[in-house]
Structure 1
Amino acid sequence: MSAGLAQDRGSGAADRFELVVFDWDGTLIDSTHAIADAIQASAADLGLPVPTRERASHVIGLGLFEAIHYAVPEIRREELPAFVERYRRHFLRADEQLRAFDGIDALLAELGQAGTVLAVATGKSRAGLNRSLLQTGWARHFATTRCADEGVPKPDPWMLQDICEELGIEAGRAVMIGDTSHDLRMARAAGASAVAVTYGAHPVEELLACEPSACLDSVAQLRAWLLPRLAAPGVQGVQRGSGSDA
């Protein structure tokens, strides 16, 4: 069943957001298949039980070590370095071919032109996100970014809390947009609003169980939901590209 706008829990003025925080993989970039493939191939390389596609996809958004332990619980500590090396090799083979979901480029540009403050909170490593920002040319859109290897990964609220502290914006005036329950649980723990998109890693039922403000099926629906809920542009003191990856 399509989630669409039926799950919308918006409440008028309370949803006038000053800060929009995006997840990366599965929300902005169509990379779910590449990540799951790399996890499965790495397990096969080491003779470990190969996780199902559902299990391999579930870990997207977590930190790398948390993801490996969940996807392949049989892995031994001494096998972790080899798994990480193989995962990165497999993923990098597909990385340059990954593309944004239809409509994301235009949405980011439109939000930027409107003066909306944007950020990224991702399970990627800092090196991985910096590489992706260069490939997409999107660094100019984001005031700051946080990665899983810089602190406590999702669903812990650290990334969102740290973003809000840096930018001087209350968490209640921020919305987190993501494709996994890890994103939505992080937002709830941080006191921010959360919006789910259904075109990424986690199934609709799992997203709805987190009670997001909306559960949306496309970038077009995301745009239609988000734009009317943005605060007046121009948060004082915030400039694009001022984050740790600038």
Structure 2
Amino acid sequence: MGSDLSTDHSLADKTLIIFDWDGTLMDSIGLIVESMHIAGEEHGFQTTDKAVQDIIGLSLMNGIEILYPQATKQQKLAIQQSYADYYIANSHRTPLFDSIEEMLQTLQQQGKQLAVATGKKRKGLDRVLDASDSHDYFVMTRCADEAGSKPDPQMLTDILVHTQQRTSQAVFVGDSIYDIQMANQLGMTSIAVNYGTASSAALAAQHPNYQVETPQDLVDLLTQEQ
């Protein structure tokens, strides 16, 4: 079940729920890792699964710069294009996690406003929103090429302004340390999910307010009537 790491925040009172996308709503971590390996090796560079997992949540180019610091600017751009080509061609393999769509429907019915803050580019997010037919769940989505890469909190600030919500009315849900760091910079309540990219221990070290093990635990935590 979900672990409540703080008694100072009541999720039932939150009117705005902001989600990360990859590894939080969509089961895409495996494809991200595979795509980065394919792209790097195509241009003569290698890395490890863990290294790729550690940069998930950042913008794609920021991640490439961390993974391949020895690459030239042109090589990094070429890796970015190869990654995008492979990921797009295989994006049909990335479904929403079980029970997530039902959770989004339930939260909407409860009168919650839902939003997305992701390290994806706008073009990439729109593509997966179309593929998963989930545009209508979210009152706003914000991407790394619109507001800076996590843990810069500008994405969250933009969403708060658009929805006219206060930080105290919002909660952010994510699977990377950058997600929790971003929420912490604003003092926003956060939920860390352990089924995505980062380990439970790494997430706990960022002091999220809540931490859950499975997608179903997240559903139970967010949709419970309190």
Instruction: Please confirm whether the aligned pair reaches a TM-score higher than 0.5, indicating the same fold.
Output: yes
Corresponding position: 1:16 with 2:3: no
2:52 to 45, 56, 73: 56
Give the superposition deviation at 1:6. 3.6
Say if 1:154 and 1:183, in contact at 8 Å, map to a contact too. Answer: yes
1:154 to 150, 155, 160: 150
- 1:238 is aligned to none
Q: Any gaps of 5 or more consecutive residues in structure 1?
A: 231-246
Corresponding position: 1:215 with 2:211: yes
Say if 1:9 and 1:214, in contact at 8 Å, map to a contact too. Answer: yes
* Cα separation, 2, equivalents of 1:149 and 1:140: 22
Measured at CA, do residues 208 and 134 of structure 1 come closer, stay the same or move farther in structure 2, by a change above 3 Å? same
* Cα separation, 2, equivalents of 1:223 and 1:11: 21
Corresponding position: 1:89 with 2:85: yes
Corresponding position: 1:30 with 2:27: yes
- 1:127 is aligned to 123
Q: Any gaps of 5 or more consecutive residues in structure 2?
A: none
3-state SS of 1:99 partner: coil
Residue deviations 1:30-61 (CA, integer Å, cap 9, x gap) = 0001011111111111111x111011011111
- 2:37 is aligned to 40
- 1:239 is aligned to none
Say if 2:35 and 2:86, in contact at 8 Å, map to a contact too. Answer: yes
Measured at CA, do residues 36 and 14 of structure 1 come closer, stay the same or move farther in structure 2, by a change above 3 Å? closer
Measured at CA, do residues 229 and 125 of structure 1 come closer, stay the same or move farther in structure 2, by a change above 3 Å? farther
One-letter code aligned to 1:86: S
* Cα separation, 2, equivalents of 1:13 and 1:203: 25
3-state SS of 1:96 partner: helix
Give the superposition deviation at 1:150. 0.6
Corresponding position: 1:173 with 2:165: no
Say if 2:19 and 2:25, in contact at 8 Å, map to a contact too. Answer: yes
Say if 1:42 and 1:87, in contact at 8 Å, map to a contact too. Answer: yes
3-state SS of 1:36 partner: helix
Relative to the length of structure 1, the TM-score reads: 0.87
Corresponding position: 1:195 with 2:207: no
Cα RMSD for the two superposed structures = 1.6
Number of equivalenced pairs: 226
- 2:75 is aligned to 79
Say if 2:11 and 2:222, in contact at 8 Å, map to a contact too. Answer: no
- 1:237 is aligned to none
Residue deviations 1:135-167 (CA, integer Å, cap 9, x gap) = 111111100000001121100110001100111
- 1:69 is aligned to 65
Give the superposition deviation at 1:218. 1.2
Relative to the length of structure 2, the TM-score reads: 0.95
Say if 2:9 and 2:189, in contact at 8 Å, map to a contact too. Answer: no
Q: Percent identity?
A: 32
Give the superposition deviation at 1:13. 4.6
3-state SS of 1:27 partner: coil
